[in-house]
Amino acid sequence: MDVAIIFGSASDKEKMAGAAKCLDEFGLEYKAYIASAHRVPELLEQILKEAVDSGAKAIIAGAGLAAHLPGVIASKVTIPVIGVPLDAALGGQDALYSIVQMPKGIPVSTVGINNSYNAAMTAVQIIGTSNEKVAAQLKEYRANMKQKFTADPVSF
Ligand code: RP5
């Protein structure tokens, strides 16, 4: 697989769908898993081994509340971990602070609250640094985005 997507609970699934959508747009291979760092730490270990052994270039990890999942994953792998703070309470600010404030040497690259699409976009960009096809797709994506804007004034 190119990317592993892991989130802490079945209740996170809808918020993490943006990651799958983005990876589908770029035709990248991924597997998604539900594994809580607190509830099933042994299962998480097993999933991480599978992801690393199958050559994943990044892991996207989403969690809410005391969101330790991305940080725990980052402590166990050396591939980039992209954290998605999820709004399960307090507008997701509890999860944002839990995920973003990592100790020096063990980073989690953190995106905005519930922004799993951007987490996958970061993974695509990581893959694009060593994959010409993906790099070309990223250029096309940006060109298409620009075409949606014009200098014409907007009327109401
Ligand atoms: C976290 O707690 C999960 O990532 C989820 O966002 C939150 C609530 O989980 P459930 O109690 O709905 O399983 O571990």
Segment 80-118, tens digit of pLDDT: 999 999 999 999 999 999 999 999 999 999 999 999 999
> ipTM higher than 0.85?
yes
Main-chain phi, psi angles of 62, to 5 degrees: -115, 140
pLDDT average, residue stretch 2-31:
98
State yes or no: 87 annotated in a binding site: no
Query: How many whole angstroms from 113 Cα to the centroid of ligand 1?
Result: 15
User: Does the pLDDT of residue 150 top 90, yes or no?
Assistant: no
State yes or no: 39 annotated in a binding site: yes
Question: What residues contact 37, with CB distance under 8 A and at least 6 apart?
Answer: 8, 44, 63, 68, 69, 72, 73
- The per-residue pLDDT for 2 is 97
User: Does the pLDDT of residue 15 top 90, yes or no?
Assistant: yes
- On the CB side of 56, CA atoms within 13 Å amount to 27
pTM attached to this predicted model: 0.95
Residues with CB under 6 A from ligand 1: 7-9, 11-12, 36, 63-65, 86, 88
Query: How many whole angstroms from 123 Cα to the centroid of ligand 1?
Result: 24
User: Does the pLDDT of residue 131 top 90, yes or no?
Assistant: yes
What beta strand segments (E) does the chain contain?
A: 3-7, 30-34, 58-64, 81-86, 109-110
Cα separation, 67 vs 77, whole angstroms? 18
Residue 1 binned pLDDT confidence (cut-offs 50, 70, 90): very high
Give, using CA atoms, the residue closest to atom 2 of ligand 1.
64
Residue at token pair 């607190």: 38
Burial category of 78 from C-beta neighbours within 10 Å (exposed 0-12, middle 13-18, buried 19 and up): exposed
Q: Structure tokens of 125?
A: 């960009």
State yes or no: 12 annotated in a binding site: yes
pLDDT average, residue stretch 30-38:
97
Query: How many whole angstroms from 88 Cα to the centroid of ligand 1?
Result: 7
Q: Taking Cα atoms as reference points, which of 55, 41, 45, 63 lies closest to residue 108? A: 63
